[in-house]
Amino acid sequence: MGVRQMSRVVIYHSDAFDLVSYGNGLSYALHDNRNKKSLFVQGDDATEFRRELDSWESNFPEKPYDEIFSEMMFELAA
């Protein structure tokens, strides 16, 4: 039997960041293309990551995603 892979969906792409969802939100990878850093979250951390992103989107609807992701990377790396 072959190994079944989780679906991979690129949610956002720019020169600065890529956000990829795996397994319909079971995990996320946020890639900072400028600084060559990545953040990978899964399980409960993926759920919290999505909540945090949803909060940013609703509280700052005009804020560009590159700025949101930059701030999220800084907060999550701390």
pLDDT digits (tens, 9 = 90+) for 31-55: 999 999 999 999 999 999 999 999 9
Average pLDDT of the chain? 91
Does residue 3 lie in a domain region?
no
The full DSSP string for 44-68 is: HHHHHHHHHHHHHHHH-TTS-HHHH
Q: What percent of the chain has pLDDT over 90?
A: 78
Does residue 33 lie in a domain region?
yes
Per-residue pLDDT, 31: 96
Does residue 64 lie in a domain region?
yes
Give bridge partners of residue 10 from the DSSP assignment: 20
Per-residue pLDDT, 66: 97
Domain containing 17 equals 8-77
pTM of the model: 0.86
Q: CA separation (Å) from 67 to 15, 22, 24, 26, 70?
A: 13, 23, 24, 24, 5
Does residue 30 lie in a domain region?
yes
Q: How far apart are CA 24 and CA 66, in angstroms?
A: 22
Across the range 24-33, mean pLDDT stands at: 94
Does residue 2 lie in a domain region?
no
